[in-house]
Amino acid sequence: MNAKQKQMIINQAMQKVRANSRGRKYINAVCLSGGNTWLHELGKTRECYNLAKQGIDFATEVIFENGQRADILVLDPENIHVIEILCTETQERLDAKNYPFPIIAKRIKTK
């Protein structure tokens, strides 16, 4: 897969993401949410750091066309997926999420 094909795949994935309140879609920037716990934000930042070290693009706190918000959208052209950081969230709530991409859950220990 050449660079142009990879970029086309990433562009197609980002078309499923709504712009934020300022009309922007940030790639490779960790956007924080005041509604999350400190541990949740730390886990999200750690995952993004690991992706950046591998040279994999990502977007955080993305809002999909259906209005649901995901923690991290991994923009690996060969494996586009969502990473959800779980601190206190139940499995039932995770199962109810309806994203256009597969979900990988990462549980953060709270103690």
Q: Can you give the pLDDT of all 111 residues of the chain as single tens digits?
A: 898 999 999 999 999 988 776 667 789 999 888 888 999 999 999 999 999 999 999 999 999 989 999 999 999 999 999 999 998 778 888 888 999 999 999 988 766
Q: Residues near 31 by Cβ (< 8 Å), separated by ≥ 6?
A: 20, 60, 61
pLDDT at 19: 76
Does the model's pTM come out above 0.85?
A: yes
Q: What is the largest CA-CA distance in the chain?
A: 45
pLDDT at 46: 95
pLDDT at 22: 62
Nearest in space to 103 (alpha carbons), one of 75, 76, 84: 84
Question: Measured between alpha carbons, how far is 8 from 72 in angstroms, rounded to an integer?
Answer: 20
